[in-house]
Chain A
């Protein structure tokens, strides 16, 4: 077991400042699988996403994260990104004065260089980006504007998915991508995500609500509470959570059914 996992998280403990936020996460994700991570606010969902992407400010105190069998601990965030780990942010930042299209091109070429592919020139990039923008119904005017500056909530989330479509990562981590989206925007974003599903690509979909999982149907659902996975099940678990809430699970013993795929 584990030999064919793309992502293997073993007994992961992590702290932010003095607070221990992750207290023993075990999880395995095989190529092609989509897992949902659900849980109440403050349970450690977003921390898990940030720790996987290598955000500074978190300290892994115990356990390991293996990606394609390689320990991520020593890898800088950009190294992880170049190996195919992508985080769609819950709150994408604004960067004044840096044009969205310039940023996307710099990002794509950095990732391509890591894959041993040549830089895309301006024309090829434009063709590619236009094609992907259609998938998420993004107006072209957003490309010339500064990154996320003055974008609506929906536009920011679509911009995240657009980047994901362009970069074609192997591991997609979606951090509450559904938050702040109306139902139409949710459908657009979900169809963008689904366009990327494939046998070689895995996804970790972090969400508070079951709603997103109507559109992005997971293979497994994990419930995280107080920094541990307290329950795992099939996609029907999400529906159960929708009906019963999280409270009935929070008392479950640590690691009760954790992570067996």
Chain B
């Protein structure tokens, strides 16, 4: 009957995708060592330059670990991670499948429950799916059609075999192995991920999509994704994930690198729904991710859109390096923290080229005991004449035990730049809820209606299908509200 009830129901919502698939995993020994790094590389039949790169990262990481350089500046709190107490490699038994028929039916059922569009009818939706289950890609669809256009899309390890020169040229060109603690760890032990290359002048005719899934217990997940849009090309990439219920915290330290050459555009959309832990904060994923795009070419554009509803802890700053003159970076974000979830997320817009532009639109929602921080850097370099940035950060509080924080950083080294920043914080109003309920709308629907209204400007940046999923994830049963 009260506003608090509806808010608590939303805040304490059960994780719907909590189930465990019973597939035997093949583990590397527990713990991190040079041998494990070599084993991973060997299992993947990698060229020596890649093994060397991994080993450099491994050595760097052992230094960072010895110097206790794990980052502590974010507004997140978690028990110390024992990096020797986890597995760094796990894969489903069978590999190299020719068709879906060969895929473990158990796995297919899991995907079905998750709504992963692997099956025939899903193909009609125009989505090519590279499904990452644990660490090894088990199925890729639509690849042939994409190949006709010269588009390379598949698992990262496959790309290492097929287009090694592209991988070698661009791997680490945006996020070097020494970039930060978690990116360094990822560089040493990354297992798999996605790779896409769109050749000159090609407009990718479908949304490329990858569904990630953490499954094996105590397996750190280290995905590595690399997307290259050659001159004048366009690609829209969707990343979405759900994970099964677990008691132990699981570390997820992915790296995503995007490169856009002259006049190219990359749109990268994420719906993140890793297991957030139970309502007392037990379990849940630590999502410590480095995502960065480089607008290397003139007039290139990179757009990040994210809806972050999952994970116990989110540490994530999808960023843009605006190097090419006239290039554009965008960041649209919804981050929802309920129960005991913590999120420290935002972006960095690094303006290097002339007349570069960036837009930041962040919507943080905190419920229950959730803590939600926006952290964003806008840096205008000395040569970035005529650069422009617009930032807006809105926070919505549901209940009175949660928190919203905003940490904007501005560094302007060119006087001709224009930088605007706006921030608001509001509480979901009792009067708003009563108004909706007086019109016959249930309390729960009213809460989700108000929350979705708050996020609307971000949600409309998502591709249609994803927007629908995102609205559901925001705890709702909205009917036809999209658009």
Contact = CB atoms under 8 A, between A and B. Distances in A.
Interface of A: 53, 55-57, 76-78, 80-82, 86-87, 89, 92-93, 95-98, 102-103, 106-107, 110-111, 114, 122, 146, 163, 167
A56 B430 contact: yes
B150 interface: no
Interface of B: 1-3, 429-432, 434-443, 445, 449-450, 452-457, 479-481
Contacts of A87: 438
B440 A107 contact: yes
B440 A146 contact: no
Closest 10 CB pairs of A and B: A97-B453, A98-B453, A107-B439, A110-B440, A97-B456, A77-B437, A81-B440, A78-B437, A111-B440, A93-B435
A98 B432 CA distance: 11
A106 B476 CA distance: 13
Nearest to A119: B479
Contact of B450 (A80, A95, A110): A95
A110 B452 contact: no
A98 B434 CA distance: 15
Contacts of A95: 432, 435-436, 449-450, 453
B434 A56 contact: yes
A57 B430 contact: yes
A110 B441 contact: yes
Contacts of B440: 78, 81-82, 107, 110-111, 114, 167
Given A89-B435, A97-B456, A106 B449 contact: yes
B1 A56 contact: yes
Given A81-B438, A114-B440, A167-B440, A93 B429 contact: yes
Given A76-B437, A110-B439, A110-B442, A97 B432 contact: no
Nearest to A98: B453
14 contacts: A76-B437, A78-B443, A89-B438, A93-B432, A95-B432, A95-B436, A95-B453, A96-B453, A96-B454, A97-B452, A97-B454, A98-B452, A98-B453, A167-B440
A89 B436 CA distance: 12
A55 B453 CA distance: 23
Contacts of A163: 439
A161 B372 CA distance: 40
Given A81-B439, A95-B435, 20 more contacts: A56-B430, A57-B430, A76-B437, A76-B443, A77-B437, A78-B441, A78-B442, A78-B443, A80-B438, A81-B438, A95-B432, A97-B453, A97-B455, A97-B456, A102-B481, A106-B445, A107-B436, A107-B440, A107-B441, A110-B442
A87 B439 CA distance: 8
A24 B147 CA distance: 79
B438 A92 contact: no
B1 A76 contact: yes
A140 to B, nearest CB: 18
Contacts of B429: 93
Nearest to B2: A56
A133 B3 CA distance: 31
B443 A106 contact: no
A52 B439 CA distance: 14
Contacts of B437: 76-78, 81
Nearest to A110: B440
Nearest to A57: B430
Contacts of B457: 97
Contacts of B434: 53, 55-56, 77
A102 B471 CA distance: 15
Contacts of A114: 440
